[in-house]
Homo-oligomer: A and B are copies of this chain.
Amino acid sequence: MENQGQRGFSKAEIPDPKAWLDGTPPAESDPRVERLVNELIGRVADKWTMLILELLEEKGTLRFTEIGRQVEGISQKMLTQTLRQMERDGLATRTVHPVVPPRVDYALTPLGNSLSAAFCGVWIWAERHLAAVEEARARFDAL
């Protein structure tokens, strides 16, 4: 993979799955930054994005149809759209091989890997507390 000179930070900073935990506590209150962060999270916390992120994290490099097959329920339109967006946000790379049935490979960038690691906490939370949420819902709906 050649591209993506992520200019500001070195690759060495990312590989550690817990890298996002050290230093820099959430002590921040600039409303402009906060707005940008909100917007970014809103885009990135998208259902399909999270699923594709997980899949690529686990499987490495995959081609278009492969992802479509493994992310159950996604339409081709959403797949294209989501991948394009991830590429634009610098989360994934898109490599086109100029062969005649087209072949396009997708893989995570270091940035994508770090996001995947950050989401890990939410993922674990959901797994661990799924039952609690369902129980709460049942209790709520019973009234």
Q: Which residues does A use to contact B, with CB under 8 Å?
A: 1, 3-4, 6-9, 11, 14, 20-21, 24-26, 28, 33, 36-38, 40-42, 44-45, 47, 50-51, 87-90, 111, 114-115, 117-141
Contacts and interface: CB of A to CB of B under 8 A. Distances in A.
Contacts of A47: 38, 41-42
Specify how many copies of this chain sit in the oligomer. Answer: 2
Nearest to A22: B124
A138 B1 contact: yes
A9 B118 contact: no
Which label, helix, strand, loop or mixed, suits the secondary structure of the A interface? helix
Contact of A33 (B4, B90, B127, B138): B127
Contact of A130 (B6, B50, B141): B6
Given A1-B141, A42-B47, A138-B3, A125 B115 contact: yes
